Amino acid sequence: MPRRPLPLNAIHTFIVTARHLNLTHAARELCITQGAVSRKIAALENWLGFPLFERHARGLRLTVQGSSLLPSFKSGFEQIAQAAEQASTRHTTLRLKAPTCAMRWLVPRLVALEQARPELHVALTTTVDHGSGLGHFDAAILYGAPSVAGYRLFDEVLTPVMAASLLPAGGLSFEDLTRFTFLHPTADGRDWALWLAGRRQALMMKRNQHFDTMDLAIGAAIQGFGVTIADITLIQSDLAMGRLVAPFRETVKTGAVYSLIQRPEEEAPPQLAEVVAWLCQQP
């Protein structure tokens, strides 16, 4: 016949009581009544078959058997606590917020992080609000003016890009752009205007399509819908794999940057610093 399960809760009560040698003090620490402490100790003594304490007018005294068991019980509970803490740390979910325009840069890096450190869990939330603070998140990527309190990930640098299938065999002249549909990452067309101002040239835009985000405009360009203006960091992999080509060498800085902010160290969950360091050092 199998023996009854070991009463772990009663062992914890025994360890606390042995530290105080006083039922009232043990009850206060455990947030239970003195009678409940006595019952738990009695249950453990019944399971073991011998007493753990001797009752005296001034309090308690450990029996020989109780003194012998106490170090092993304390060591066992410490190991359980350490194992639980390590398991909790390994499975901590870190909450990251990022603007949708950063997804082409961010997602490959999160995939690489998951492959390198599968025990790290990052819950990603996207937003069209580019400059708000952390809120209830552990870290956030911001787009806009440089963040004094954050890490500078990269500057926004724009250049026109298009699907390789649209590029003429002999190359593309500046005037040839008028043949294509202009894809705008914003409703006001400011990105194209900024690049054209950098060249000090005007251009007739006969056909235009506006998108809510740069990521959508880049996706349309990859499908051959037209030519868009895009950040060179966001399209690195698309250029490397030939999904897009950049027909002109001229680029222009917008003054905007992508920054990473995080919770203060004293409020940060475990392993947040490691995730932040990973994102900051990735090319």
DSSP for the chain reads -PPPPP-HHHHHHHHHHHHHT-HHHHHHHHTS-HHHHHHHHHHHHHHHTS-SEEEETTEEEE-HHHHHHHHHHHHHHHHHHHHHHHHHHHTPEEEEEEEGGGHHHHHHHHHHHHHH-TT-EEEEEEES--S---TT-SEEEEEESPPTTSEEEEEEEEEEEB-GGGS-TT---TGGGGGSEEEESSTT-HHHHHHHHHHT------EEEE-SSHHHHHHHHHTTS-EEEEETTTTHHHHHTTS-B------EEEEEEEEEEE--TTTPPTTHHHHHHHHHH--
Structure confidence at residue 87 (pLDDT): 59
Whether pLDDT at 85 is above 70: no
State the chain's mean pLDDT as an integer.
87
As given in the structure block, the two tokens for residue 108 are 């490959």
Structure confidence at residue 1 (pLDDT): 39
Work out the average pLDDT over 168-196.
90
Q: Model confidence over 102-128: pLDDT tens digits? A: 889 999 999 999 898 888 888 999 887
- State the pLDDT confidence band at 184, using cuts at 50, 70 and 90: very high
- State the pLDDT confidence band at 64, using cuts at 50, 70 and 90: very high
Work out the average pLDDT over 59-85.
85
More confident of the two residues 230 and 88:
230
Q: Model confidence over 198-219: pLDDT tens digits? A: 888 888 888 999 998 899 999 9
Structure confidence at residue 283 (pLDDT): 59
Structure confidence at residue 128 (pLDDT): 76
Structure confidence at residue 58 (pLDDT): 78
Whether pLDDT at 225 is above 60: yes
Q: Model confidence over 113-167: pLDDT tens digits? A: 989 888 888 899 988 776 677 878 899 999 888 877 889 999 999 999 999 999 8
Whether pLDDT at 20 is above 60: yes
Structure confidence at residue 240 (pLDDT): 92
Q: What secondary structure does DSSP assign to 3-68, as a single string? A: PPPP-HHHHHHHHHHHHHT-HHHHHHHHTS-HHHHHHHHHHHHHHHTS-SEEEETTEEEE-HHHHH
Whether pLDDT at 244 is above 70: yes
